[in-house]
Amino acid sequence: MATKERVLSGIQPTHESFHLGNYLGAVKQWVELQDTHDAFYCVVDLHALTASPEPQALRRRTLASVAQLIALGLDPEKCTLFIQSHVPAHNQLAWVMECLTGFGEASRMTQFKDKSQKSGADRTVVGLFTYPMLMAADILLYQAHQVPVGEDQRQHIELTRDLATRFNSQYKDTFTIPNGYILKAGAKIYDLQDPTSKMSKSAESQSGIIDLMDAPEVNIKKMKSAVTDTEREIKFDEKNKAGISNLLTIYSALTGQPVSAAENEFAGKGYGDFKAAVAEVVVDYFRPVREKALELLTDPTHLNQILKTGAEKASAVAEKTLADVYDAIGITSRA
Ligand code: AQP
């Protein structure tokens, strides 16, 4: 039997709910890939510490994230689902990655530049700077071939590839060089109120974010208030019609039809009708997901059991890689 290629990806528990961008850019592909690949998916709670969450909120959001992932279609029988901090090898390999990364190289990461600029140097934690090295460790520990992520993570995947190549040539051939699995369409979903900025959990205003766990009425209102343009034509044109193009991307991704078919379907219709139709598709799609996630959260023991099994399976792979890494770089093993 041919062995399956390995897939690894993670998502931060930084909010009570995932948003539409997280789903279309990443989790939708996670669900598909669990059928064809040896898939490892984690809720990256250590990464979330860079946003200095309240302890109770972090605990609650971590379990809520697991419930949402299962409700969105991850099947713990098909994939390995775990919490990043349950596998200490992530931190251990991250340090090795930090010692392999140039300061200038890390300083070029645009996500760090954007986020640190927003909060100012004094309020930016060092963990935000070293975040991409922890992410490299997340991926390389599992010898992942593919990493399904949104477009915003492309630079971090490139860094991971560079670090793996550097390690392999400097020490010993240890790591699989991973590839980003980034869709051409849907890899970047934009804020409904500012369709030139990505939909982001940490946006200043929530009015342009579609949270999957929000009540349908809330999301219908947000979809209907989406910013468009002063023209009348429903046509994909990201440069001149960013809002309409974003809505077409969402509609096409959730209905499974090409953007051109959606353009034809709405030819001659008004923006109001179009927005109402997209809203209906969005709420119909996520209504059962929300219900399922809420139901799963009523039984935390069951979720914790899934996570225990996941951590055991993940640890077995991660510890083997870490031992190979330590051996290659000359860390003395304990007698
Ligand atoms: N707008 C988006 N469009 C497509 N994909 C997106 N992703 C995030 N936003 C979009 C993808 O979702 C996955 C998980 O993201 P994350 O939780 O690790 O954090 P993030 O990328 O930092 O997400 P946010 O919402 O932007 O959070 P904040 O505001 O905290 O930074 C990733 O694969 C990401 O590409």
* Residue in 4, 113, 118, 201 annotated catalytic: 201
Share of the chain above pLDDT 70, in %: 99
Is 201 labeled as catalytic in the residue annotation? yes
Q: Evaluate: CB of 26 within 6 angstroms of ligand 1.
A: yes
* Beta-carbon contacts of residue 144 (< 8 Å; ≥ 6 apart): 6, 7, 8, 40, 176, 178
Question: Residue 242 pLDDT > 70, yes or no?
Answer: yes
**What is the value of pTM for the model shown?**
0.96
Residue tagged active-site, from 4, 78, 113, 115: 115
Q: Is 228:193 a contact under the CB 8 Å cutoff?
A: no
The residue among 12, 48, 47, 49 whose CA lies nearest residue 27 is: 12
Instruction: Report the pLDDT value the prediction gives residue 299, as an integer from 0 to 100.
Output: 98
Q: Tell me how far the alpha carbon of residue 251 lies from the centroid of ligand 1, in angstroms.
A: 19
Closest Cα to atom 7, ligand 1: which residue? Answer: 22
Kindly give the number of the ligand 1 atom that is closest to the alpha carbon of 12.
17
Going by pLDDT thresholds of 50, 70 and 90, the confidence category of residue 204 is confident
Ligand 1 and 253: CB distance under 6 A: no
Residue 198, ligand 1, Cβ within 6 A:
yes
Q: Which of 15, 22, 43, 134 is the best mutation target for the ligand 1 pocket, counting ligand atoms within 8 Å of the beta carbon and taking the most?
A: 22
Nearest CA to ligand 1 atom 18: 11
Quick check: 77 pLDDT over 90?
yes
CA-to-CA dists, residue 115 to 98, 109, 203, 269, angstroms: 20, 10, 11, 40
Query: In this model, does residue 2 exceed pLDDT 70?
Result: no
Which residue in 57, 160, 62, 156 sits closest to 114, CA to CA?
Answer: 156
Q: Is 219 in the pocket of ligand 1 (CB under 6 A)?
A: no
Mean per-residue pLDDT, 304-317: 98
- Other C-beta atoms within 10 Å of 41: how many? 26
Six-digit token pair at 320? 């083997």
Half-sphere exposure of 103 (CA within 13 A, CB side): 1
pLDDT at position 184 is 84
For residue 115, indicate whether it is catalytic.
yes
Distance from the alpha carbon of residue 18 to the mean position of ligand 1, in angstroms: 9
Residue 202 pLDDT class (50, 70, 90 cuts): confident
Strand 38-43 relative to strand 80-83: parallel, antiparallel, unpaired?
parallel
Distance, in Å, from the CA atom of 328 to the CA atom of 305, rounded to the nearest integer, reads 35
Which of 71-80, 121-130, 242-251, 289-298 is predicted with the least confidence, judged by mean pLDDT? Answer: 121-130
Q: What is the mean pLDDT of residues 182-199?
A: 92
Please give the number of the atom of ligand 1 that sits closest to the Cα of 150.
35
Closest CA to 109 of 128, 90, 95, 91: 128
Q: What is the DSSP letter of 25?
A: I
Looking at every residue in the chain, the average pLDDT score rounds to: 96
Q: Is the per-residue pLDDT at 86 higher than 60?
A: yes
- Find residue 147's DSSP bridge partners: 180
- Residue 1, pLDDT above cutoff 60: no
> Atom 33, ligand 1: which residue's CA is nearest?
149
Q: What is the pLDDT of residues 7-40, one digit of tens each?
A: 999 999 999 999 999 999 999 999 999 999 999 9
